[in-house]
Chains A and B, each alone.
Chain A
Amino acid sequence: MSATEFHRPELVCPAGTPAAARAAVDAGADAVYCGLQNATNARNFPGLNFTEEEIAETADYVHGRGAKILLAVNTFPPAGKFDLWRGAIDLAVRRGIDAVIVADIGVAAYASSRYPALRMHLSVQAGASSPEAIRFYCEEFGVKRVVLPRMLTVSEIADIHRQIPCEIEAFVFGNIGMMAEGRCSLTNYATGVSTNMDGICSAAGDVHYDEDAAGNLTVRLGNFVLDRFGCNESAGYPTICKGRYSCSARTEPYYAFEEPVTLNLSALLPDLMRAGVTALKIEGRQRSRAYVKAVVAAFRKAVDDIGAGKEARLADLIALTEGYRETEGAFRSKTWR
């Protein structure tokens, strides 16, 4: 394969804190994405995210090194609280953010009418998974890039690319929630905290770990048991979609939705780049900067190697994965569905 087949994709990297943003840029990120310390973004976790002052400082650092900073405003404001989301968009403009990542139609409408020059990306939380859905957001709100849901095969991505007027950003590494993004109320059903409206999946305050004398770990969310791990069994995120359940069709409890695994598409990078993907996204604003540094550096090298016509040799990232297991999810084959 020749290097000229590809344009150099942008590496879009997670930043839960200013320190993580700097680590990502230093490790070779082309862009970092971050969120404010409130419900306006889908990683509204304790101790995480940015104040306006930190956004400003980080923007300076990132811009000073030729990279971009994106602000995720990608949750759904409930009626009566829209001002908080409006404020996040205003802040992005005030602080020179390169693009906002939005999901709600109301937020998109506000941003496009109030700030026509503000670059807008469509969050994966909008769940736009067909050319028509994507074109709707492009034509009505001027969206410039879509972050595709993690449910499509590479050939389906290539097919979409041919039919839409905007750029494509695709996830290449990280936590792979099993449910269609922006269409999941499981946490709210168990805890009263909404992923869509509050930006929290499996709120830490509702997660309980109980380990017995033999080292068996029981994980609960609210009043519901999600899983039990034997003393030497590796664990995953305490989310409903990664839990084990029983049903009449099975004799034993099973992972009804998905096992604890981490998406790793490093082997598919050349295919994704050929499919017309403009930006490669790494998940993990909730992870440490040790994770950010390791994953970003590995993907930076891989992308650069592919761009130089060399074979990409991916550093082993298995140590950072959930359940110590990796998957290519939907991207390689339809049988994943």
Chain B
Amino acid sequence: MAHSRPAIVSGARNAPPFLLDIPRRLLSIVPLVVLQPVLDRIATHVARSRPRLFARLGPHTDKRYLIDPVDLPFVLVLIPNSAQPFLKAFPRDGKVEYDAGIAGRFINLLTMIDASLDGDALFFTRDLRVVGDVEAVVALRNALDDCDGSIVDTITGAFGPLSGPAGLALSVVRRMTAGHRPV
């Protein structure tokens, strides 16, 4: 692996407005052991419901993507393999191996994944940072962008009425992104 760093950057440069801070606050108190089963479920569900996404990724389905929400205490590693999807949270201060990394504020990453925010525009304003295998990042971005509707809806729809902080956090995020109109 070409890269091995705990995280792409240590923190957000711009303090987010209070409202945008809510999911961050909720997620920041979730212990990783609680978060991990949620992530597993997200990965499996997206893999099953969005098969075309993986075809678009072509040779990049075995790449390790580091997704770094700079305002959260953990980072995510994604291997978008349709047979064995992998999405795992790691503590920010740990050592994580990856091929390609994307860093940005949590809300920006989420709205981009949800196709309601333009990744290039985020990059132009330096709100999104990319390291490592840029081609893998571009492929993932384009593949996600072809997913109709909201991936966040897909994810939250998979859980039904969840109890606990993780489910609450996701549902807040879902409502927020539905109302978030960045363009």
Contact = CB atoms under 8 A, between A and B. Distances in A.
Interface of A: 16-20, 22, 45-48, 51, 203-205, 207-211, 215, 217, 229, 231-237, 260, 286-291, 293-294, 319-324
A45 B126 CA distance: 22
A17 B145 contact: yes
Nearest to B56: A47
Residue picked from A46, A48, A210, most chain B C-beta under 10 Å: A46
A319 B142 contact: no
Given A45-B138, A289-B115, A319-B182, A19 B146 contact: yes
A207 B134 contact: yes
B131 A46 contact: no
B153 interface: no
Interface of B: 8-9, 13, 55-58, 60, 112, 115-121, 123-126, 129-131, 133-143, 145-148, 182-183
Given A46-B58, A288-B141, A290-B115, A22 B148 contact: yes
A287 B115 CA distance: 11
A230 B26 CA distance: 33
A293 to B, nearest CB: 8
Contact of B118 (A17, A205, A208, A287): A287
Q: Which 4 pairs across A and B sit closest by C-beta, in order of nearness?
A: A47-B142, A47-B139, A17-B146, A46-B139
A210 B140 CA distance: 20
Contacts, number: 118
B138 A47 contact: yes
A19 B147 contact: yes
B118 A288 contact: yes
A288 B120 contact: yes
Contacts of B140: 47
A51 B56 CA distance: 10
Given A47-B56, A235-B126, A322-B124, A290 B146 contact: no
Contacts of B136: 46
Given A46-B139, A232-B126, A286-B142, 16 more contacts: A16-B145, A17-B56, A19-B146, A45-B142, A47-B138, A215-B13, A231-B13, A234-B124, A234-B126, A288-B120, A290-B115, A290-B183, A291-B118, A291-B120, A320-B183, A321-B124
Nearest to B131: A209
27 contacts: A16-B145, A19-B146, A46-B58, A46-B135, A46-B136, A47-B143, A204-B138, A207-B134, A211-B9, A215-B9, A217-B129, A231-B126, A232-B126, A234-B125, A286-B120, A288-B115, A288-B120, A289-B115, A291-B120, A291-B121, A294-B183, A319-B183, A321-B124, A322-B120, A322-B124, A323-B124, A324-B124
